Structure 1
């Protein structure tokens, strides 16, 4: 038997020793992928998955732009669709940019088509503009995604959606590119046609508080107003020390038809925009603060800090206190208007300041950190945790908090639900750990159902499919251990895939 040490050249140090990745048979996806390997559990998991695989997709949190569906224009080239906007994919290729077995030609985000900002420092590298070359670099680095959820999502889209017949590799890159270009030119591969094909029942976008929601208005005029709904995202307005905050507040006032000159007009403008979102069909707000702190200030201190911010003199400590206070205020407004409050804390955004200044945010340099919830959420939950109109869904990328903090909180406060594994945790093993960590104290019915949180439109069905497979596997184990009867497991699987996300994001007033 040949051992690793006996392979010529030892550990892989160049592409010369890599096994060719060109498949000898057409590329296909195994029907049992991500289901349990255990021979007792797999048949049960198959039966459970069969009850959910065809259910409509309820996609209540994500970052697909409404303009994509309002315009319904053909997608661009494969690089624009799969590579450049996908920070999961970009970060892996960049992480291997100095490795001899990485993706040739990738030195930084610019080599994958990410363009520098107009305000980028002098000397910033320009972006690669040849989409075929960007695609080649991605294909040459396909092996880097082995074992990652990025591979699962991407191969699902390539095979199941676009009918690709060979895995990406340096050898197949050009033929695969041409195949995708041909598919993308067909009318059945335009956004609205794919929306129907994916079985999406409702999709929520994420929109700045000051957005005029013009694309949503166009969709509503086309009869899509109940199928694509906005989500209110006020983050830049709640952090008074962020660059550009004053301009953001001025834009808020303009959108609300008022001038923000003090704390009262600031709150009035936010309420006005929330009302506009509700009128456009919004179900939720979304808050991506670094910390989950919801400690309120008294009105005098909040007024003083906002006045200082408008003058440009607020201190970092004041800014932190004000952002926590505004999370409390957002909860209070949700108790008034019925918008579900989503909280996504615990990510240090733009860890590399140089990349952020040169190429902007969301380039793969957002890093999770430890997050505290028990004391942080106490002010909001004491005030609104039993309020009949208030609903909060708390997410985390600190999975140690599931069993210790968030599941126990969701297991007692009627207003709180535990969000699905998010971002760095929406992986097969992350989802399994989530169910094992949270079910003991939160059960299944204090969770929100799956959210895909994606910018990559064509990955939506893959992400929901993976969640359904993992839940089928978890429920199969409970059946095999005689902790659930099969009929209960089937009902639970359907609830997790469909009924819970619908119930977790009701329309305001319902």
Structure 2
């Protein structure tokens, strides 16, 4: 039986001199409040504050970082609790499957997050395995039955100051408003406006989505102009509920505006089901420009991530639905395709855009240089396939060379797995301490300067980038 005791110096430099500096820098920020400006936790979970059901539904099934890697090692998604037929999975069997494949996570950031959660949060001191699975499951069941492990208690224990969710424009945001009005809840949970489903008139369900949006906004979205008005109305509702940002994922960052007559024609054809593929792309690119235009008008920070192929494996999509681990990186870019937006709004005082990528070559080639000229552009932190210590260090070097530290976003946890939030932020803080320590020991920064940067990276920088106040 192998013990589970994460090393206190994990991710810090091997060189003793650099490690000593990194320890001091990490200590500066280890217990700082968490600002999470981009994530996917459901606000209603915190509103209802019901106990979590079990270890599997908390730590395995909702975390696509976990499920996709196990699937890559031959574990069927049904065995991990993902079922479209509604049949309940046995959580103990899901947990046994997870523990039996613990070695699949060796040397990955997922292993770091899981070890931190199990040890620091649930006081587990043995590694998951076939022989320890049931004992760990029972230990977690004991903890989850306690009031201290309910969602609100954990929110406070994690030190979360701001948690942003991701929400469809048609969502009623009632949970956000109720949390904001609840004097017993000490925290800030803000919605993020995610308009993706309204951008592609050739997508299945697009017309039905417009109906739902129209009902939510009380605006007829049967025309292109009506759709823009409905989106503006819902953006205002998100801002009134505390939202400070939008989030848009597109296949590419093309953003050429259309003539209004052409846009109206394509909108009609989308409703009729006769829109061509080329016109659907033109419409989506026009709407991306219009969303930037809206951000310049209302001040909501625009987050953009382009270059991802959604639902790469059709059979998995058909059996298990979206967000099940097969959204995969594609070739993309920003400098050329984003030019129409930046020509128009790049120097606007009200417009702000945070650029994310799953292609880390873009950090030095495009995102860093763009952030190094345009006041409106901020370099989004490594996320998704890049949120590992090594990629974080490469990002820091690549972007800082062109844009400095102040034009970055702060760490992005991008997770549905609530209990992984502090583990993810801890990993980032350790990785940044290691990077800064190397700059100190090579005499590129004083230790006082490095400590100031470490503090800014977890506080001032994300507050500024996402206008969190």
TM-score category, normalised to shorter length: over 0.9
Deviations 1:150-206 (A, max 9, x none): 111111111111111211000000000000000000000001101111110110000
CA contact (8 A) 1:226 1:281 kept: no
Matching residue of 1:367? 328
**1:159 equivalent in alignment to 2:136:** no
**1:76 equivalent in alignment to 2:37:** no
Matching residue of 1:129? 89
Deviations 1:367-391 (A, max 9, x none): 1112111111111111001111111
**1:40 equivalent in alignment to 2:17:** yes
* TM-score, normalised with respect to structure 1: 0.90
Matching residue of 2:84? 116
Aligned partners of 1:434 and 1:41: how far apart in 2? Answer: 20
* Stretch moving more, 415-424 or 288-297: 288-297
Structure 1 residue 489: deviation in Å?
Answer: 0.6
Aligned partners of 1:260 and 1:96: how far apart in 2? Answer: 45
Aligned partners of 1:266 and 1:66: how far apart in 2? Answer: 26
CA contact (8 A) 1:225 1:281 kept: no
The number of residues matched between the two structures is 468
CA contact (8 A) 1:128 1:134 kept: no
The one of 415, 421, 425 aligned to 1:460: 421
The one of 459, 462, 465 aligned to 1:498: 459
Aligned partners of 1:295 and 1:168: how far apart in 2? Answer: 51
Aligned partners of 1:277 and 1:81: how far apart in 2? Answer: 28
Q: Which runs of 5+ in 1 are unaligned?
A: 1-21, 98-105, 119-126
Aligned partners of 1:184 and 1:407: how far apart in 2? Answer: 43
Matching residue of 2:435? 474
Aligned partners of 1:319 and 1:397: how far apart in 2? Answer: 24
The 3-state SS of whatever aligns with 1:152 is helix
Deviations 1:459-505 (A, max 9, x none): 00011111111111111111111111111111011001111001111
CA contact (8 A) 2:306 2:333 kept: no
**1:208 equivalent in alignment to 2:185:** no
Aligned partners of 2:361 and 2:160: how far apart in 1? Answer: 32
Alignment of 1:204-243 (within 5 A): 204-223=164-183, 224=185, 227-243=188-204
Q: Which runs of 5+ in 2 are unaligned?
A: none
Alignment of 1:410-425 (within 5 A): 410-425=371-386
Structure 1 residue 117: deviation in Å?
Answer: 5.3
Alignment of 1:251-270 (within 5 A): 251-270=212-231
Deviations 1:400-440 (A, max 9, x none): 11101110000000011000001000001111111121111
Aligned partners of 2:359 and 2:83: how far apart in 1? Answer: 31
**1:194 equivalent in alignment to 2:154:** yes
CA contact (8 A) 1:57 1:202 kept: yes
Deviations 1:127-154 (A, max 9, x none): 6611101100000000110001111111
Matching residue of 1:307? 268
Runs of 4+ in 1 over 6 A off after TM superposition: none
The structure that has the greater radius of gyration is 1
Structure 1 residue 217: deviation in Å?
Answer: 2.0
CA contact (8 A) 2:12 2:433 kept: yes
Structure 1 residue 363: deviation in Å?
Answer: 0.8
Deviations 1:79-112 (A, max 9, x none): 1001111111111111111xxxxxxxx3x21111
Alignment of 1:338-377 (within 5 A): 338-377=299-338
The one of 17, 21, 26 aligned to 1:49: 26
The one of 337, 343, 346 aligned to 1:385: 346
Aligned partners of 2:79 and 2:30: how far apart in 1? Answer: 38
Deviations 1:218-261 (A, max 9, x none): 21221459600100001001111111111101000000112222
Matching residue of 2:244? 283
CA contact (8 A) 1:390 1:415 kept: yes
The 3-state SS of whatever aligns with 1:343 is strand
Matching residue of 1:147? 107
Aligned partners of 1:93 and 1:270: how far apart in 2? Answer: 39
Aligned partners of 1:201 and 1:370: how far apart in 2? Answer: 36
Matching residue of 2:73? 96
CA contact (8 A) 2:161 2:187 kept: no
Aligned partners of 2:407 and 2:304: how far apart in 1? Answer: 16
Matching residue of 1:323? 284
Structure 1 residue 41: deviation in Å?
Answer: 1.1
Give me the CA root mean square deviation: 1.3
Deviations 1:262-319 (A, max 9, x none): 1111111111111110110001000011111122112222111112112111111111
Aligned partners of 1:238 and 1:431: how far apart in 2? Answer: 31
The 3-state SS of whatever aligns with 1:490 is helix
Aligned partners of 2:218 and 2:467: how far apart in 1? Answer: 28
